Amino acid sequence: MRRIARAGVTGQSTPTTLAGWQEFGRVLRAHREQRELSLRDLAERIRWHHSVIGKWEQAKNRPPVEAVKVLDAEFGAGGDLMAQALHAAMADADQARKSNVEAKASTRDEGEEMERRRLMRDAAAVAVGGAVAPVLATLTSAWQASGPRISGASVSQEMIDDWEDAADVHAKRAYIDPPAVVLAALAADFTDMAPHLGRTQPEPVQSDLAHAAARHAALIAGKWFDLGNRREAHRWWRKTRTLSEQSGDTLLAAWLLGREAAYRRADPDEDLDDVLLVAQRAHRFAGDHPSAPLVIALSAEAQTLAMLGRYVEATTALRRAEEVFSRLPSQSVGLDPNWVYFDRSLIYTFAEEVKLAREAQSTAEGLYPSAHHGAVTIALHNAALHARTDPEQGAQQALRLVETLPVARRDVRVKAAARIVLDVAPEKARALPAMRELRALTMGDRSA
pLDDT digits (tens, 9 = 90+) for 198-254: 889 999 999 999 999 999 999 999 999 998 888 889 999 999 999 999 999 999 999
Q: Quick one: pLDDT band at residue 107, thresholds 50, 70, 90?
A: very low
DSSP track, 36-54: T--HHHHHHHHTS-HHHHH
Window from 9-13, 176-180, 213-217, 343-347 with minimum mean pLDDT = 9-13
Report the greatest alpha carbon distance in the chain: 69
Q: Is the model more confident about 386 or about 446? A: 386
Q: Is the model more confident about 177 or about 286? A: 286
Q: Quick one: pLDDT band at residue 334, thresholds 50, 70, 90?
A: low
Q: What per-residue confidence (pLDDT) applies to 102?
A: 47
Q: At a CB cut-off of 8 Å and minimum separation 6, what does 356 contact?
A: 344, 348
DSSP track, 40-108: HHHHHHHTS-HHHHHHHHTTSSPPPHHHHHHHHHHHT-TTHHHHHHHHHHHHHHHHHHHHHHHHTTT--
Task: Write down the mean pLDDT value for the chain.
Answer: 81
Q: At a CB cut-off of 8 Å and minimum separation 6, what does 236 contact?
A: 217, 218, 220, 221, 224
Of the candidates 410, 405, 435, which has an alpha carbon nearest to the alpha carbon of residue 420? 435
CA angle 30, 75, 169 (to 5 degrees): 110
Tell me the pLDDT tens digit for each residue of 139-164. 566 666 666 778 888 888 989 999 99
Q: What per-residue confidence (pLDDT) applies to 188?
A: 81
Q: Quick check: pTM over 0.85?
A: no
Q: What per-residue confidence (pLDDT) applies to 47?
A: 82
Report the 10 Å Cβ neighbour count for 428: 8
Buried b (16+ CB within 10 A) or exposed e, 187-198: bbbbbbbebbbe
What domains are defined for the chain? 1-107 (1.10.260.40)
DSSP 339: H
Report the 10 Å Cβ neighbour count for 29: 16
Tell me the pLDDT tens digit for each residue of 78-97. 677 877 777 777 666 556 54
Segment 419-444 mean pLDDT: 86
Integer angstrom CA distances of residue 212 from 38, 164, 201, 234: 49, 5, 15, 19
Tell me the pLDDT tens digit for each residue of 21-74. 888 899 899 999 988 999 999 988 888 888 889 999 998 888 877 788 788 888
Residues of the chain above pLDDT 90, percent: 40
Tell me the pLDDT tens digit for each residue of 115-138. 445 545 555 555 444 444 555 555
Instruction: State the Cα–Cα distance between residues 345 and 362, nearest whole angstrom.
Output: 10
Q: What per-residue confidence (pLDDT) applies to 4?
A: 26
Q: Is the dihedral of CA 18, 24, 25, 27 positive or negative?
A: positive
Instruction: Tell me the H-state helices in 227-267.
Output: 230-247, 250-264
